[in-house]
């Protein structure tokens, strides 16, 4: 039987709390062979420090050994990094640098962030039911280029500089990823840029348009980022796949997450060209929320984004689509029964804690 190696990086704040529930859910999936039409592989799970937790122990946000272990793993599960305790550190020492190093070291150039509106959570969305119902968006964010990585950068006297840089190759590969995934969905891609003012966006639009010629069955439209931000709250159902650069994707996917009622609901996958022993992408999986230090250690965090990240890992890195669907159905069943963590609860609704929410998901898994 194949054994897959998974590196877990709990991180900071609520990261360890939500990741613990994700790992318990993964272990339950692995223990019940009936969750798949074929026997499940074994999962070897190893844990390491990252972010502020690593800084406190090792003096760096991520060690070379942890990066090596990540390279050797078939997939990586991450909780969250960062917090006010490290906000005054130099830029290259901040916990968030661990994420940038993981992405660049592992070549994780594509960040996939699904935004699906769960029926039971329609009341939790800040938008009207008739506006948000039926929304199903996949944001495909370029992850290793753009202003987060461009040079020159830094402080120059009384000026601060960051540089937006993209090459044809970088835009091509994220465009191919977006069009390929669109073929499995509604065959619509919206490419988001700021081509009316930015040279990097002019290149972006040209290259995406060129790649589109190889996917004539997919509908392509272009949209400026400011208009896209407005359209996401005006008419989110118009979107299927949104492909955009690193900065715009970061902002737009967080905005889109609130359509679902809470940022705590959304998973993500970061993938590149490296294959694991299953011949699938060796990805990094994490909920899109931050470390939320204000509620850390209180058992109030929503673990569903982390648990749904496990579902994405099962499908994308291990090819276990049926197991992934079962996790998603278990989450939906829990929500249909009215179980709500603090971020989802409406006035008068009972609030469920982090571990209890995870346990309820695992109970539903047993029933499926």
Catalytic residues, which ones? 148, 194, 226, 250, 254
Backbone torsions φ then ψ of 100, nearest 5 degrees: -65, -40
In this structure, what token pair is assigned to residue 12?
Answer: 């900071």
Distances (CA, A) of 24 to 21, 43, 98, 207, 257: 5, 12, 25, 43, 25
Backbone torsions φ then ψ of 205, nearest 5 degrees: -65, -40
d(CA 309, CA 276): 18
Q: What residue spans of 137-239 are helical by DSSP H?
A: 168-182, 199-212, 225-234
The answer to whether the peptide bond before residue 75 is cis (omega within 30 degrees of 0) is no
Orientation of helix 225-234 relative to helix 246-257, angle to 10°: 10
d(CA 75, CA 98): 16
Element (H, E) at 79: strand 75-80
Instruction: Count CB neighbours of 176 within 10 A.
Output: 16
Whether the CB-CB separation of 287 and 155 falls below 8 Å is answered with no
Whether the CB-CB separation of 317 and 281 falls below 8 Å is answered with yes
Closest CA to 236 of 141, 335, 127, 328: 127
């Amino acid at each position: 039987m194949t054994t897959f190696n998974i590196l877990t990086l709990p991180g900071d704040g609520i990261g360890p709390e939500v990741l613990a529930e994700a790992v318990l859910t993964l272990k339950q999936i692995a223990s019940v062979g009936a969750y798949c039409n074929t026997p499940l592989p074994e999962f070897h799970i190893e844990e390491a420090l990252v972010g502020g937790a690593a800084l406190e122990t090792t003096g760096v946000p991520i060690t070379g050994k942890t990066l090596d272990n990540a390279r050797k793993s078939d997939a990586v599960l991450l909780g969250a990094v960062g917090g006010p305790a490290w906000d005054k550190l130099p830029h290259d020492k901040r916990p968030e640098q661990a994420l940038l190093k993981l992405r660049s070291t592992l070549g994780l150039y594509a960040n996939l962030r699904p935004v699906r509106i769960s029926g039971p959570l329609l009341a939790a969305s800040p938008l009207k039911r008739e506006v948000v119902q039926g929304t199903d968006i996949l944001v495909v964010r370029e992850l290793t280029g753009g202003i987060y990585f461009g040079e020159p950068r830094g402080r120059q006297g009384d000026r601060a500089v960051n540089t937006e840089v993209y090459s044809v190759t970088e835009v091509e590969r994220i465009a191919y990823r977006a069009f390929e995934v669109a073929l499995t969905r509604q065959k619509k891609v919206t490419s988001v840029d700021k081509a009316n003012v930015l040279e990097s966006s002019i290149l972006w639009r040209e290259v995406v348009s060129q790649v589109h010629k190889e996917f004539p069955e997919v509908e392509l439209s272009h949209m400026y980022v400011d208009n896209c931000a407005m359209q996401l709250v005006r008419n989110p159902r118009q979107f299927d796949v949104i492909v955009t650069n690193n900065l715009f994707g970061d902002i737009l996917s967080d905005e889109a997450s609130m359509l679902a009622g809470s940022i705590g609901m959304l998973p993500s996958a970061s993938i590149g060209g490296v294959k694991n022993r299953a011949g699938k992408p060796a990805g990094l999986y994490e909920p899109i929320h931050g470390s939320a230090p204000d509620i850390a250690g209180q058992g109030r965090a929503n673990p569903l984004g982390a648990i749904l990240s496990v579902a994405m890992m099962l499908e994308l890195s291990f090819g276990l689509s049926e197991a992934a669907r079962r996790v998603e159905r278990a989450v939906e069943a829990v929500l249909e029964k009215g179980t709500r963590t603090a971020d989802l609860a409406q006035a008068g609704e009972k609030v469920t804690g982090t571990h209890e929410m995870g346990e309820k998901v695992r109970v539903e898994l047993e029933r499926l």
